[in-house]
């Protein structure tokens, strides 16, 4: 009888402890805020500065149904397509340094988060030409397991304005 009571109390203690631990983890996940996603954006830009999509791949969902818009071409269907295509876009460059704008806006809704920002970049071509670029960036992350992965991205530059 005493051993049954001890087993029951131990089991009850384990259940209570488990609920506390999992509730804390759930609360921590729920409290992921704008600064977390802004940090992810900076990490992504740093990865892209390597001019190798493999360095940025860990931030992106690998599903073939995801759609990514970059500077060119019109769109990429899935990470595999993006990986192959963006290599061509990056090929003329020897270096690039991205600066995330101070206008980052983050919106969270359950397992989805989207953010918008502007960016500038200092780039150098393999021919030695220096370029100053500026553009806009929209990201959509989805919570996949314990990670937030980009499931959609729009990275573009506006068409230069001509004088009237």
Number of domains in the chain: 2
Q: Give residue 14's domain range.
A: 1-31
Asked whether residue 162 is assigned to any structural domain, the reply reads no
Task: Give the length of the chain.
Answer: 164
The single-letter DSSP state of residue 161 is P
Q: How far, in Å, CA of 11 to CA of 29, rounded?
A: 27
β-strands 147-156, 112-125: how paired? unpaired
- Are residues 82 and 152 located together in one domain of the fold? yes
- Are residues 27 and 38 located together in one domain of the fold? no
- Are residues 61 and 85 located together in one domain of the fold? yes
Asked whether residue 81 is assigned to any structural domain, the reply reads yes
pLDDT in tens, 124-144: 999 999 999 999 999 999 999
- Are residues 26 and 65 located together in one domain of the fold? no
pLDDT in tens, 35-79: 999 999 999 999 999 999 999 999 999 999 999 999 888 899 999
What's the pTM value of the predicted model, to 2 decimals?
A: 0.79
Q: Where does residue 26 fall: left (phi above 0), alpha (psi -120 to 50 degrees), or beta otherwise?
A: alpha
- Are residues 39 and 23 located together in one domain of the fold? no
- Are residues 52 and 99 located together in one domain of the fold? yes
């Amino acid at each position: 009888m005493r051993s049954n009571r001890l087993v029951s109390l131990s089991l009850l203690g384990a259940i209570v402890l488990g609920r506390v631990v999992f509730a804390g983890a759930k609360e921590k996940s729920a409290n992921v805020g704008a600064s977390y996603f802004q940090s992810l954006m900076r990490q992504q830009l740093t990865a892209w500065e390597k001019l190798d999509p493999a360095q940025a791949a860990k931030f992106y969902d690998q599903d073939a149904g995801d759609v990514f818009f970059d500077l060119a071409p019109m769109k990429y269907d899935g990470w595999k397509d993006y990986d192959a295509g963006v290599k061509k876009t990056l090929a003329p460059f020897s270096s690039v340094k991205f600066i995330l704008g101070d206008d980052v806006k983050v919106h969270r809704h359950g397992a989805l988060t989207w953010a918008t920002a502007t960016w500038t970049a200092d780039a150098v071509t393999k021919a030695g030409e220096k370029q100053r670029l500026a553009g806009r960036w929209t990201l959509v992350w989805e919570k996949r397991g314990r990670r937030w992965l980009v499931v959609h991205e729009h990275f573009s530059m506006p068409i230069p304005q001509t004088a009237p």
